[in-house]
Structure 1
Amino acid sequence: MLKKNNHNYPFKKIFYILDNKFKFEIIYYLIQKKMRFGEIKNNLLNINQQLLTKLLKQLEKDKLIKKKQFKGFPRKVEYSITSFGLLFKPVVNNLFKWEEKNKTILIKNIKNKKAESLYDYY
């Protein structure tokens, strides 16, 4: 078994990049189509403008998304997925399929809060 502080720990780099629950959703939406800031914000529940701005900058820095600014007034900015970000498509799709398949258990777990983990249900 690998130690968690080992640089080759399998998920360390992935979770470092996708360290926020909204990042998966942002990637998911941008895989579907190019979006403006307001469109992304409207699709995410309970996110404020400051946090969304920060997350978009991080995803852009990590080369998962790109930002295109158009000239003119009012200023228009559009976000899209990069070819590197598109590599997450099977991962994101499988996570959503897993969630859909296990929705009943997930909802039950959230409502009852009896189990310490979903493993308790299997």
Structure 2
Amino acid sequence: MLKRRTYTCGLDAALDIMGGKWKALVLWELIDGPLRFGELRRRVAGISERVLILQLRELEKCGLLHRELYHQVPPKVEYSLTGFGQSLIKAMTPLGEWGERHQATIEALERGD
């Protein structure tokens, strides 16, 4: 959740709203369109159901995603990026591309090679 504070720069503000590993990965999965909770759970490897629920609530509260509830049986909920969220994804895309290009080097560093 965002803390009330003054940011030192734009990167500081962006990192605060992204809030760590899970939020960025959830947002990234929504890049191609709306997904239901179960689909997100399967696509974001390693995230627990509880953490996903918390992250989705925070992303909605920050205005990065939209939660659409369909009143049907069984209930259906879809999550999608807002315009604000789409603008963040556009900013994240070059970072993701950088990670793709350097993934082998990063993995070797983590292994201690």
Task: Please give the TM-score of this superposition, normalised by the length of structure 1.
Answer: 0.82
Match of 1:118 in 2: none
CA distance, structure 2, for counterparts of residue 89 and residue 23 of structure 1: 11
Give 5+ residue unaligned stretches, structure 1.
1-5, 115-122
CA distance, structure 2, for counterparts of residue 29 and residue 81 of structure 1: 10
CA distance, structure 1, for counterparts of residue 65 and residue 16 of structure 2: 16
Aligned length: 108
Q: How does 1:42-81 map to 2 (within 5 A)?
A: 42-81=42-81
Give 5+ residue unaligned stretches, structure 2.
none
Match of 2:82 in 1: 82
Residue type matched to 2:71 in 1?
A: K
% of aligned pairs identical? 26
What secondary structure is seen at the aligned counterpart in 1 of 2:77? Answer: strand
CA distance, structure 2, for counterparts of residue 66 and residue 95 of structure 1: 24
CA distance, structure 2, for counterparts of residue 74 and residue 44 of structure 1: 23
CA distance, structure 1, for counterparts of residue 13 and residue 88 of structure 2: 14
Instruction: Give the C-alpha shift of residue 17 in structure 1.
Output: 1.4
Q: Which moved more, 1:41-50 or 1:86-95?
A: 86-95
Larger Rg: 1
Q: Please give the per-residue CA displacement for 1:31-58, whole angstroms capped at 9, x wherever unaligned.
A: 2111000100101111111110000000
CA distance, structure 2, for counterparts of residue 23 and residue 95 of structure 1: 15
Match of 1:103 in 2: 103
Indicate the RMSD between aligned Cα atoms, in angstroms.
Answer: 1.5
CA distance, structure 2, for counterparts of residue 63 and residue 89 of structure 1: 13
Instruction: Give the C-alpha shift of residue 22 in structure 1.
Output: 1.2
Structure 1 segments of 4 or more deviating over 4 A?
none
